[in-house]
A = this chain, B = another copy of it.
């Protein structure tokens, strides 16, 4: 792996470049992004230089797509004639079904492996990029066929994310989407719903718990639009299960069943820590 193209140099793309450099990647990293992001990324040494898509990917052994989902889909429509034949294209999009399907349809001349690093920060942009972002984070890989993981370019890519300290989780694209609908998209909508409901009250009595519960509600729709659009089926099912659970709690306010729910919840919350 001599040359890497990072398409979309924001928090994730920038952190990927910084992590490569921090772990001794000796080759060139070319970024494709807005002029402002390119300038900031070159300054922070997340990338060596910026280029247009066609030029950036023509010599790249690894093409890392770290744009918003809708932009990843657009890029996947363009890449096939531009890439090297033995390159690996991978992505960091947070829903996988549509991305994997689009890659399968449009990318024939080189390998593709869907990915999703379970890492992030409240603050976006390459200015917040961090070489240690992937350390101790899960990194989902969603091959359509397990053999995709064993191709030389894929093995090399997986070696790098291992060096970054990420924990590889191999899972099918649809199963991934079902899992993140519950563990990521549902918490977002639960927080958004709570904060939106509270907007009706002029004065709020705000204890310390409310700040944590409404933190995700600060997220921008710009990011979430594509996620909601490309995973609406699984999210709808997660919301239905959540609503059923809330209805059960409402029936159980004064009963022993509530104690079991608190215990079950507290054990699960504890395991996540």
Contacts and interface: CB of A to CB of B under 8 A. Distances in A.
Given A184-B207, A214-B269, A235-B250, 14 more contacts: A116-B205, A176-B205, A187-B210, A187-B213, A187-B214, A192-B262, A193-B246, A193-B249, A193-B265, A195-B269, A219-B262, A219-B266, A232-B254, A239-B247
A265 B205 contact: no
A245 interface: yes
Contact of A266 (B220, B241, B266, B273): B220
B272 A206 contact: yes
Interface of A is mostly: helix
B216 A209 contact: yes
A3 interface: no
13 contacts: A121-B208, A183-B207, A186-B194, A187-B209, A192-B261, A193-B249, A197-B241, A198-B268, A211-B272, A214-B265, A214-B268, A214-B269, A217-B269
Contact of A138 (B197, B201, B206, B253): B206
Given A232-B253, A266-B219, A205 B180 contact: yes
A204 B182 CA distance: 9
Given A201-B179, A254-B232, A265-B199, A245 B193 contact: yes
A268 B216 contact: no
A204 B217 contact: no
A236 interface: yes
Nearest to A179: B205
How many interface residues does chain A have, given as a range?
35 or more
Interface of A: 116, 118-121, 138, 140, 169, 171, 176, 179-180, 182-184, 186-199, 201, 203-221, 224-225, 228-229, 232, 235-236, 239-243, 245-247, 249-250, 253-254, 258-259, 261-270, 272-273
A258 B228 CA distance: 9
